[in-house]
Amino acid sequence: MRRILALTAAILLLAPAVPASAATRVIVLPGARSAEGITPAGGGTYYTGDLVAGTIFREDVKRGTAERFIEAPPGTTAAGVDLDRRHDLLFVAGGAGGKAYVYDVRTKAKVADFTFGDPRTSYVNDVAVTPQGAWFTDSYHPQLFFVPVVAGRLGVPRTLPVTGPGAGGSPDDFFMNDVIATPSGDTLLVAATTPGKVYTIDPRTGASTEIAGLTAPNVVSLVLEGHRLWAVQLDDKITRWCLDGALSHAVPAGTITDPLFDQPVSAAKIGDRLAVVNSHIYSGYPPTSPTYEVLVVGA
């Protein structure tokens, strides 16, 4: 996420709890103060970040359990997360101040602490790991940040200016939110929350193209599998899309809703299901929900 604008929507009252259907599994994050990004770790396990506290949780979807895995220092936040499974490196978008972090999940140690862009205005919202390295979004500037990874070693970060229709954003205008990548890393896809659009970006040039036919208001994150795309939207739904071979056009393929959705903010695929993070972000900032959870629903 995947931080949602500067909370542009009016603060809503929490809806009464609705019993989960038999098809929905609820995994509560113990002691969480908020919840944001999620990334698969293999074997039915996932990592989820606490936006406000920076804590990293590890969930076992098969068992339906979650544990506090990495305790971040005070002042650390965790927006989007993505795991480099080849090298056991967890990349974390650190939100305000242009911050980003990298943890070694074998030792739980922080191995890198980056400051990108303009620390006064840059908001590093999400991250996508590719075979070449990790890409981070800046929600208030038309640019991406790249950290190369070679044989498990982190290289020197660089900034990629974004051009074309995906080049929105300014210190007063929230734009890019999530970023994902094709398996090769040759194409990036970004979710722009404010216009509810998705763009492809060429990681070599920064040129962007809108995916025609795809409109997803309040889109905060994306899941890509082949030519199937899921758009997670803050208005309590996830829309499905079918993309063409060039990833240039989309047609709608259905909508996922659940009575337990409460501002879903990110998702990850598990077989034929999705692990969906509830943000409860409209309860205030920091959010005030008594619990934060991952829902496992049909994809």
What pLDDT digit, counting tens, does each position of 106-115 carry? 999 999 999 9
Categorize the per-residue pLDDT at 45 as very low, low, confident or very high, splitting at 50, 70 and 90: very high
Q: Where are the beta strands (DSSP E) in 56-187?
A: 56-60, 65-70, 81-84, 89-93, 95-96, 99-104, 109-115, 123-129, 133-138, 143-150, 153-154, 158-161, 176-181
Q: Which two tokens stand for residue 176?
A: 């890019």
**pLDDT for res 24:** 81
The domain spans of the chain are: 25-298
Q: List the one residue out of 63, 117, 126, 139 whose CA is nearest residue 94.
A: 126
What pLDDT digit, counting tens, does each position of 181-196 carry? 999 999 999 999 989 9
Helices (H), the chain: none
> Does the global pTM surpass 0.95?
no
Q: Which residue has the higher pLDDT, 171 or 204?
A: 204
Least confident of 9-23, 161-175, 217-231: 9-23
Q: How many whole angstroms separate alpha carbon 73 and alpha carbon 75? A: 6
- pLDDT surpasses 70 at 50: yes
Mean per-residue pLDDT, 197-224 = 98
**pLDDT for res 170:** 86
Q: Which two tokens stand for residue 221?
A: 């994150």
**Thinking of the domain 25-298, which architecture would CATH place it in?**
6 Propeller (2.120)
What pLDDT digit, counting tens, does each position of 214-273 carry? 999 999 999 999 999 999 999 999 999 999 999 999 999 999 999 999 999 999 998 999
Categorize the per-residue pLDDT at 23 as very low, low, confident or very high, splitting at 50, 70 and 90: low
Please tell me whether residue 282 adopts helix, strand or coil conformation: helix
Distances in whole angstroms, Cα of residue 200 to Cα of each of 117, 164, 168, 272: 21, 10, 13, 25
**pLDDT for res 268:** 97
**pLDDT for res 6:** 34
